Structure 1
Amino acid sequence: MKKYVLSLALVCISLISYGQSNYEKVMSEKIAKLEMCKTTEDYQMLANDFERIGKKETTQWLPSYYAAFAQIQKGRIQMRDGKMEGLSAYSEAAFKYLDQAESSAGKDNAEIHLLKKMAYSLSMMENPQQKYMTDGVKAAEELKIAEQLDSNNPRIALIKAEDMYFTPEQYGGSKTKGIDLFKEALNKFNTYKPKSSIDPSWGRGEAEYFISQAGK
């Protein structure tokens, strides 16, 4: 009887391990595709994929996190092309996923708070004059929370660098200071260790790009 119980326990452990390794394998494949996305359609397809994974892995926060990240990236592509109308729709879609992620990860997750900052900033850019005192203030609050939770996180330094670089000088921005912050972010990327192979690691390429453009 004891041998039967032991065998059953080992089978259960093996099944759990297999399920976890299969989850990480699928997530790794999808996360790798984030680096190759070029269009809003590419990001939407991945958002859908991460949403499907999240529905199966209901205790995991990362599928919803990456679905939110994909929605934010959709908005950033549109903003890059000078199309500011409708940015709040991407922000709202991101917050739907971030609420799901937070319900699994808890409220003290710096990566989630950083994406909230990015989502609020995205919404603000739809109409900066009208939304600065609402979404702009909320974005600053979320960035502050993220930094308090994980001051060494390179993505926090990266987003601070973006803000400094792209803000007009009359409003306190500076490309020179922005480059210095990108360098700070890169230094943090060189030492920061993600908690797992599928935890957030995005951003290094952007820091390297802006540093390479300095002085050109």
Structure 2
Amino acid sequence: MKNLFLTFIIALTVFISKATDSERFNKAMGETLVQLGQAKDVASFQEVANKFERIASSETAEWLPNYYACLTYTIIAIQQKGDDIDKYLDKADTFVEKLAQQKVTSLDEVEVLKAQIAMMRISVDGQARFMKYGSAFEGAINKAKAINPENPRAYALKAQMIFYTPEQFGGGAKNACPEIQKALEKFANFKAISPISPNWGVEQIKGMAKACN
């Protein structure tokens, strides 16, 4: 009986410890996500990316810190020009590589990140890069939709790609509108798995939707 009671106490202690670790992780992630939403310039976004990287270093079993570090670097890249875009996308790619080594519960979200990086690579020099990164974009989007057909970000990025492609190549607002509508429908029915799970993109797609009215 004494040994059984001792085993119960040890098991309870481990459970409480894990619960505390989970609460600490969620708190750190929640605070950093708030900071991400409030960031306004490269310096503040870089600070956020650094925080996600530190969380990832201490919480090696968790994939979301690497996911958000990657996403943050794509946001920084948007604010750059020319070769500086590639510099930050290279950094984003290092986190995609880290995610490949982890047990990710939402692989569709990683494919969306890959698609976003490919799309931004094209933006540096569309004529020279479309052949290479266009196929990478389509491959990632198709994988994301196959894994989770309800992921609105996959449709939103596809819409964005069409929207900003010149009309003579099948792009433009008119051609993007069907995909924009799909994305809006997916967002309307989407529910994030948790408060710290990926839940971005709706405002961007709403902005593009104005061109369809």
Q: TM-score w.r.t. structure 2 length?
A: 0.91
Aligned length: 211
* Matched residue, 1:47: 49
Aligned to 1:99: 97
Per-residue deviation, 1:73? 0.7
Aligned equivalents of 1:156, 1:19: Cα separation in 2: 32
Does the 8 Å contact 2:69/2:92 carry over to 1?
Answer: yes
- One-letter code of the match for 1:62? L
Separation of aligned partners in 2, 1:29 and 1:14: 22
5+ residue gaps, structure 2, are: none
Gaps of 5+ in 1: none
Identity %: 26
Q: CA deviation at 1:213?
A: 5.5
Q: Equivalents in 2 of 1:127, 1:154: separation in Å?
A: 27
Amino acid at match of 2:131: M
Q: Is 1:137 aligned to residue 135 of structure 2?
A: yes
Q: Contact 1:160–1:181 at 8 Å: present in 2 too?
A: yes
- Asked if residue 183 in structure 1 is aligned to residue 181 in structure 2, the reply is yes
Over the aligned positions, Cα root-mean-square deviation in angstroms equals 1.9
Matching residue of 1:148: 146
Shift of 1:212: 4.1
Tell me the SS of whatever aligns to 1:35.
Answer: helix
CA distance in 1, matches of 2:32, 2:10: 33
The one-letter amino acid paired with 2:96 is: L
**1:44–1:74 CA contact under 8 A, matched in 2:** yes
| In 1: Cα distance, 2:150 partner to 2:7 partner | 46
Counterpart residue number, 1:120: 118
Q: What TM-score do the two structures reach when normalised by structure 1?
A: 0.90
Q: Deviations over 1:165-191 (max 9, x none)?
A: 111101110202324432321221121
Residues 42 and 131 from structure 1, CA distance in 2 versus in 1: closer, same or farther, beyond 3 angstroms?
Answer: same
Checking the alignment, whether the CA contact within 8 Å between 1:65 and 1:101 is kept in structure 2 is yes
- Quickly say closer, same or farther: Cα 1:190–1:108, change in 2 above 3 A: closer
Q: Structure 1 residue 200 and structure 2 residue 198: aligned?
A: yes
Structure 2 distance, partners of 1:205, 1:15, is 39
Name the aligned partner's letter for residue 49 of structure 1: K
Aligned partner (choices 106, 109, 112) of residue 111 of structure 1: 109
